[in-house]
Copies of this chain bind each other. A is one copy, B any other.
Amino acid sequence: MIRAAALRLKDHARKTPFLNSFFVDDIAGRRVWIKTEALQHTGSFKFRGGWSAVSALSPEALNAGVVAFSSGNHAQGVALAARLHGTHAVIIMPSDAPKLKVNNTLSLGAEVILYDRETEDRQAIGQELAQKRGLTLIKPYDEPNVIAGQGTCGLEISAQAADFGIWQADVLVCCGGGGLTAGIALALEAEAPSMKVRPVEPVNFDDVTRSLAIGVRQTNTHLGGSICDAIVTPTPGELTFPIMRRLCGPGIVVSEIDCLRAMSVAFTRFKVVLEPGGAIALAAALYHGDQISGDDVICVASGGNVDAAIFARAISDYPCS
* B-contacting 9-mer, from A17-25, A200-208, A216-224, A228-236: A17-25
1/0 per residue, CB under 8 A from B, across A277-321: the answer is 000000000000000000000000000100011011001100101
Q: Is the CB of B304 within 8 A of A308?
A: no
A8 within 8 A of B: no
Q: Is the CB of A100 within 8 A of B268?
A: yes
Q: Is the CB of B308 within 8 A of A39?
A: no
Bound complex: CA A311 to CA B19 (Å): 22
Known A39-B272, A311-B315; contact A100-B321, beta-carbon cutoff 8 A: yes
Bound complex: CA A39 to CA B17 (Å): 9
Bound complex: CA A168 to CA B100 (Å): 34
Number of chain A interface residues as a range:
20 to 34
Bound complex: CA A187 to CA B312 (Å): 38
A245 within 8 A of B: no
Known A39-B19, A39-B271, A272-B271; contact A319-B315, beta-carbon cutoff 8 A: no
Neighbouring B residues of A38 by C-beta, 8 Å = 271
Neighbouring B residues of A43 by C-beta, 8 Å = 271
Bound complex: CA A23 to CA B305 (Å): 14
Q: Is the CB of B321 within 8 A of A316?
A: no
Q: Is the CB of B312 within 8 A of A271?
A: no
A104 within 8 A of B: yes
Bound complex: CA A271 to CA B80 (Å): 17
- Beyond A272-B273, A312-B316, 5 additional contacts (C-beta under 8 Å) are A23-B104, A39-B271, A39-B272, A272-B272, A311-B312
